[in-house]
Amino acid sequence: MRIDSVPGRGAAGADAPAARPGSTTLVLLRHGETALTPQGRISGSGGSDPALSETGLRQAEAAARRLAERGGVRAVVSSPLRRAQQTAEAAGRHLGLEVQVDEGLVEADFGAWEGLTFAEVRERHPDDLAAWRASPDVAPGGTGETFSAVARRSALARDRLLARYPGQTVLVVSHVGVLRTLLRLALGAPAASLFRMELSAASLSAVAHDGDGSGSVRFLNDTSHLEDHH
């Protein structure tokens, strides 16, 4: 397994600044769409484990081609859930790399909210939704995983990658909750910022980490590779 730094293009298409020499870059790829994505249905780790839809498979291929064109990635690490694995496998094929799995990258469990839309949650459980949005220590759906817990395991997964691939570039294929958390931690932003980031299906973002562990967001929610692949 090998790794380098990767120049990127931002969400607006402008060249993103190159990471500083010696930094470890985590390129963050959200999985492609499933049948639930266009409906806005909550799909965590506590419900069904949906596969990518035909659109999601096309999105995964488009992201993989972009990453191969960009070059520099030396490892692919994925959540164990099927939609992330399928997205990672497309990248691995184009990059010539075997997909590694890190359980810490799995999506949050949303408890009783799994399969609902947020509009349905707001209608049926307005107080619970308000409490969850107000505090990272509140479990969604009563029995789900708090964002505080997601932050702890996401940070541990990040630290494993930084220790294993120093000075290299790693593709991290995961879910919106975990990837937003990694971006939030890099920014040193409060938990409420999780609700203020857009991470589209099959989007690319990147965080560069210096040797002291401090993070710098290099680009966010790049979907330019999907423009001709709807």
Give how far Cα 179 sits from Cα of 94, 109, 116, 126, 207, Å: 22, 15, 21, 26, 10
Count other Cβ atoms within 10 Å, centred on residue 228: 7
The full 3-state SS of 174-220, as one line of letters, equals: ECHHHHHHHHHHHHCCCHHHHHHCCCCCCCEEEEEECCCCCEEEEEE
Count other Cβ atoms within 10 Å, centred on residue 54: 10
Q: Is residue 118 part of a domain?
A: no
- The closest alpha carbon to 167, from 19, 67, 68, belongs to 19
Q: Is residue 12 part of a domain?
A: no
Which is catalytic among the residues 31, 94, 175, 225?
31
Domain count, the chain: 1
Q: Is residue 18 part of a domain?
A: no
- pLDDT for the residue 212: 75
Q: Is 125 a catalytic residue?
A: no
Domain containing 212 equals 24-110+146-226
Confidence of residue 25 (pLDDT cuts 50, 70, 90): very high
pLDDT digits (tens, 9 = 90+) for 61-91: 999 999 999 999 999 999 999 999 999 999 9
Q: Is residue 8 part of a domain?
A: no
Q: Is residue 165 part of a domain?
A: yes
Q: Is residue 153 part of a domain?
A: yes
Which is catalytic among the residues 33, 61, 107, 145?
107
Confidence of residue 22 (pLDDT cuts 50, 70, 90): confident
Q: Is residue 200 part of a domain?
A: yes
pLDDT digits (tens, 9 = 90+) for 135-189: 999 999 999 999 999 999 999 999 999 999 999 999 999 999 999 999 999 999 9
Q: Is 145 a catalytic residue?
A: no
Q: Is residue 125 part of a domain?
A: no
- pLDDT for the residue 228: 65
- pLDDT for the residue 5: 32
Domain of residue 198, CATH code: 3.40.50.1240
Confidence of residue 134 (pLDDT cuts 50, 70, 90): very high
pLDDT digits (tens, 9 = 90+) for 174-209: 999 999 999 999 999 999 999 999 999 999 999 999
- pLDDT for the residue 8: 36
- pLDDT for the residue 111: 95
Q: What percent of the chain has pLDDT over 90?
A: 85
Output the pTM of the full model: 0.90
